[in-house]
Amino acid sequence: MTLRKTGNNIMKKLLGSISLSIVAMLLLNGCVVAMGNKGGENKNGTLGQQLIDLKKAKENGAMTDAEYEAQKAKLLGNK
């Protein structure tokens, strides 16, 4: 009987540790998600950064002047 009680105690401690670990992971996961949602920026960056990137693309020859002006107007029209 003593062996059985010892086995039960070990099982209770193990389940308690596992439960505590799961709760801690869930709480930390919520904190990470909340921290990731900070800031009002969209996934493409701020409007200013988008305009800078657009200008660099034009200067590097990745787009024509007409394409640049069209994309710039689209960005500024969305604001």
pLDDT digits (tens, 9 = 90+) for 28-79: 777 655 555 555 555 678 999 999 999 999 999 999 999 999 999 998 986 5
Does residue 56 share a domain with residue 32?
Answer: no
Sorting pLDDT into bands at 50, 70 and 90, what band is 16?
confident
- The number of distinct structural domains making up the chain is 2
- Kindly report the CA angle at 40 between 38 and 42, in degrees rounded to 5? 110
Predicted model pTM: 0.44
Does residue 45 share a domain with residue 34?
Answer: no
Does residue 34 share a domain with residue 49?
Answer: no
Q: Which range of residues forms the domain containing residue 4? A: 1-38
What pLDDT sits at residue 32? Answer: 57
Does residue 34 share a domain with residue 11?
Answer: yes
SS3 assignment, position 61? coil
Does residue 57 share a domain with residue 30?
Answer: no
